[in-house]
Amino acid sequence: MFDIESTKEALSLGGSLLALSSTAYFWLVRSNRERAQLQVHLVGEHWGNVPLPQEDPEAYQRCRPGEGEVVAKYGVAVATVNNSSLPNALLKVRAWLQLADDHWQECFVRTWQDPETSLQLPLNLSPLTTAGMQLTLSLKIRGDFDGGFQGRQESAMKALTDKPRVRIELAALQGKTFFSDLPMATSDTSEEAYRSAA
């Protein structure tokens, strides 16, 4: 016999479960959108050079090369993406380069708004936006200053693997860090050409 009351109760229970499931789904989606999510992408090619100590005294002071060593400096342009629906801030950038012997070496990192203007962190990031910046990565390598500018440029590029990679760590608010391992587009572009083209 058809029981109207039981049917009503079943429909009411089904409706409640549907509403509960919908609410949980939308809260899950909202929570995921609000979760801190910073990503970094390389934009374009990179350059490398071995500057003379008087050309970049800060890099030599920070990297402290020993006998038979020089400082190699590399430049990369990056896009930092805030995939969250909430604002965030980039507090610090760390980077490592893969050298020709396949080991990873941490770099002295400087951030730039453009090739001539340094960018002081923290950098505020609005929700669902992208911020461009340029990084110079300095580290010590085995080498000398022979061969003029071209020779020093070649020394810097040869210090990396044939298919160089960079690891970048972004430090954000609330102690969050975001790590990326990225291939670098090969380029013979010098720092001077890079600056003049910007």
* Segment (H or E) for 193: helix 191-197
CATH code given to domain 36-197? 2.60.40
Cβ–Cβ under 8 Å, residues 161 and 96 = no
Q: What is the pLDDT of residue 113?
A: 85
CB-count burial class (<10 Å; 0-12, 13-18, 19+) for 167: middle
Q: Could you give the maximum distance between any two Cα atoms of the chain, in Å?
A: 99
Give the number of other CB atoms < 10 A from CB of residue 174.
6
Query: What is the residue extent of each domain of the chain?
Result: 1-34, 36-197
**Per-residue pLDDT tens digits for 132-168:** 999 999 999 999 998 899 999 999 999 999 999 999 9
pLDDT surpassing 60 at residue 198: no
pTM beyond 0.85: no
**50, burial (CB in 10 Å: exposed 0-12, middle 13-18, buried 19+):** buried
